Structure 1
Amino acid sequence: MPEIRKPQLVKATMAVIDRVGLHAASIALISKEAGVSTGIINHYFGGKHGLLEETMREILRQHSATIMDSLARLPKEAYQQRIIAIVDGNFVGYQAENQVTKTWLAFWSYSMHEPQLKRLQRVNEKRLLSHLKIELKALLGDDQAEVVAHGIAALIDGIWLRGTLNPQGIDADKARFIINDYLDKQLTFYSKK
């Protein structure tokens, strides 16, 4: 697949999912949106599931790049700021665009039943937890860092899901406030132990 076609097909996939939902997003609609034949999609991606997998890979690449770029600009010792940068990577910019959030939601529902998509979801979850634990271990013990990382990840997922289903979209400031509040309380709680 020429590299120029992949972004075109990813964009078309997200546009069609945004317009009609994943179940109605047929190869015919996606190929029409992208201006290519259905045969090209079937040949290079093996159908709709393969194209959804490539679309999610691109979203995950963008997600990872956003977080890594944010972390690279922060001092290594700015642990709480680095945690918030990880949080922001889930709620601002590309990840908060309507087409991207609807594709994420479709991906989540499909990942329960599709092994390749389930694997991508596990990789994404492990990456998020790893980033959080690295920063949290500098502030807490290993066991506490593990618990707080899972708490922050659950808050990210819950806030993100509610925001995606809300017609006004994701409120990044509110997400940041809620997660900061949780983090502050956890740091205070564990410092008293």
Structure 2
Amino acid sequence: MPKVGMPDIRKPQLVNATMTVIERVGLQSASIALISEEAGVSTGIINHYFGGKHGLLEETMRSILRAHGKTVTNALSSLPASAHKQRILAIVAANFEGQQANNKVAKTWLAFWSYSMHDNQLQRLQRVNEQRLLSHLLIELKALFSNSQAHHIAQAIAALIDGLWLRAALNPDGLSAQQSQLIIKHYLETQLQALHTQH
């Protein structure tokens, strides 16, 4: 976490510089010297406010998570509470549109996923993000399916989001948001159709 007193204007500047450098040279080569040069600040400022590269990476991920959370919240706020299918699709769309579809953000996420396997704090952030996604999905799915079915489908949708997002992030052509969302929409509609057939 950045220390108290970090100028607000500096935080997004340093976060953006971190993502730019990660996109250009990868996480391992993204040194404090390169990031500070990209941001136009001294290495001392980064070390003082963030305690080094790890602290800056953590703040970068928190920033992306905050922006993503706002995207989801805004998407849901525009839909009626009873529009469960539309709300599920809005949650899905939020993972493939806006900032999340930015190639720079995608590469930072990819680096974060890899790095978090060996870092407890970053792993905790990843778990928080995963639980938040599942929680949003379960609220809507439980209104349509039994409790056990809702949990199963939520896990499947989350796995589809992660898998499609990962494949898209590794694709040189970037993120195919529309195709990814169509695949998940088809899965959801298949589950809804199966539910209606049972009844």
- CA–CA separation in structure 1 for the residues paired with 2:117 and 2:195: 35
Q: Which residues in structure 2 correspond to 1:109-120 (within 5 Å)?
A: 109-120=114-125
What's the CA shift for 1:29? 0.2
Match of 1:37 among 12, 17, 42: 42
Q: Which residues in structure 2 correspond to 1:67-106 (within 5 Å)?
A: 67-106=72-111
Match of 1:4 among 3, 6, 9: 9
| Aligned equivalent of 1:160 | 165
Q: Which residues in structure 2 correspond to 1:131-146 (within 5 Å)?
A: 131-146=136-151
- Aligned residue pairs: how many? 193
CA RMSD of aligned residues (A): 0.9
Is the 1:111–1:117 contact (alpha carbons within 8 Å) kept by the matching residues of 2? yes
Q: Is 2:36 the counterpart of 1:25? A: no
Structure 2 letter corresponding to 1:170: L
Deviations 1:129-179 (A, max 9, x none): 000000001100111100000000000000000000001111111111100
Q: Is 2:92 the counterpart of 1:66? A: no
- CA–CA separation in structure 2 for the residues paired with 1:48 and 1:136: 40
TM-score (normalizing by structure 2): 0.95
- CA–CA separation in structure 2 for the residues paired with 1:165 and 1:96: 12
Q: Which runs of 4+ in 1 moved over 4 A?
A: none
Structure 2: any 5+ residue segments left out of the alignment? 1-5
Secondary structure at the aligned position of 1:40 is classed as helix
Is the 1:111–1:121 contact (alpha carbons within 8 Å) kept by the matching residues of 2? yes
| Aligned equivalent of 1:176 | 181
Is the 1:144–1:190 contact (alpha carbons within 8 Å) kept by the matching residues of 2? no
Structure 1: any 5+ residue segments left out of the alignment? none
TM-score (normalizing by structure 1): 0.98
Match of 2:153 among 139, 148, 154: 148
